[in-house]
Chain A
């Protein structure tokens, strides 16, 4: 039996990333003062260390390994086609997803010759709050009874608009995932 179906969805992906140690340099920040510029794939962070006076243009610091996490709420609209064989169904689908950035966090340690300090950046200059991606999946479902099914859902998402809004670079995330869920009939 074959049926068509559409599927608006809501989910919250969390994307952690480890950034290796690097040297960062002082530049003029958007607020006018001088701060160390930390470049990430999603935008720039500005670091003002507490262990030193305000830096001069071109001063440098070393940063340790950093962890960068992005949090999004994603609302996709997917068109699926259901193919059913007994209790098993497979539903290949494709669609578009709206991604809303809800949080970003970079945690690292900065150090000069005598001091070190842990810093957390929670705002990235140039990060977009919204972007679009294409999504495709192949949901496999096993019907337990008339009201419930279990399903396994391999999916792939690819951004078609950048998560950054500055002119220096554009970043297009993509992800392959495997989901596990329970489906309930209303």
Chain B
């Protein structure tokens, strides 16, 4: 018995809190992370979903 795929699409907006990990041995580079303040991020887009039933 074969499966059926039904497709949907989802426009969306997203609110995000972003951070980062930095790998470095240089003090000048490591110090930039201490002086950073992350502002909220925003995303928008479309999700395309195929559902197997």
Q: What residues make up the interface of A, taking CB atoms closer than 8 Å to B?
A: 3-20, 22, 39-41, 67, 74, 80, 82, 151, 153, 155, 159, 162, 168-186
The prevalent SS among residues of A at the interface is strand
Q: Is the CB of B18 within 8 A of A15?
A: yes
The prevalent SS among residues of B at the interface is strand
CB of B1 within 8 Å of the partner chain: no
Q: Is the CB of A175 within 8 A of B21?
A: no
The number of chain B residues touching the other chain, given as a range, is 35 or more
Q: Is the CB of B14 within 8 A of A14?
A: no
**Distance (whole angstroms) from the CB of A31 to the closest CB of chain B:** 21
Smallest CB-CB separation from B41: which chain A residue?
A15
Known: A3-B52, A184-B9. A175 touches B32 (CB 8 A): no
Q: Is the CB of B48 within 8 A of A183?
A: no
Q: Is the CB of A11 within 8 A of B35?
A: no
Which residue of B24, B40, B46, B51 contacts A170 across the interface (Cβ within 8 Å)?
A: B24
B residues less than 8 Å from A6 (CB atoms) = 49-50, 52
Which residue of B17, B24, B50 contacts A169 across the interface (Cβ within 8 Å)?
A: B24
Q: B34-53: contact bitstring with A at CB < 8 Å (1 yes, 0 no)? A: 01111111111111111111
Known: A4-B52, A177-B17. A41 touches B44 (CB 8 A): no
B residues less than 8 Å from A184 (CB atoms) = 8-10
